[in-house]
Amino acid sequence: MVDDAKLLTCIQQLEDLVRLLKTSKDIMIHHHINQFFYMQKIAELKILVDQKQEVKQHLNNIDHFIQSQYNLVLVEYQRDIQWLEVKLDSLEK
């Protein structure tokens, strides 16, 4: 898996390259390096980074919901077990 920091650094370097290519008038450079390939990849990577952040946030929300449901059921379970133990003890006597 690509580290987020490395990915952002890569995007920055690609953007720097595209800026350099935009200002360059040398035909040989433009013949050898496809500026539009890098522009497309920058856009794609930015979209993927955004989607990854959205998924992370969604998973975080799910984790919080799971935690709250777990806490709720645990409290109810403990209360019911406690009641049941008292009830069973009173039936034995």
Report how far residue 39's alpha carbon sits from residue 37's, in angstroms, rounded to the nearest whole number.
5
Encode pLDDT of 4-27 as tens digits: 999 999 999 999 999 999 998 888
Number of helices followed by number of strands (H, E) in the chain: 3, 0
Q: Choose among 34, 49, 39: nearest CA to 16.
A: 39
Q: What's the whole-model pTM score?
A: 0.74
Question: Which domain covers residue 44, as residue numbers?
Answer: 4-92
Encode pLDDT of 29-53 as tens digits: 888 999 999 999 999 999 999 999 9
Q: What is the pLDDT of residue 27?
A: 84
Q: What is the pLDDT of residue 26?
A: 86
Report how far residue 17's alpha carbon sits from residue 4's, in angstroms, rounded to the nearest whole number.
20
Report how far residue 70's alpha carbon sits from residue 76's, in angstroms, rounded to the nearest whole number.
10
Q: How many domains does the chain have?
A: 1
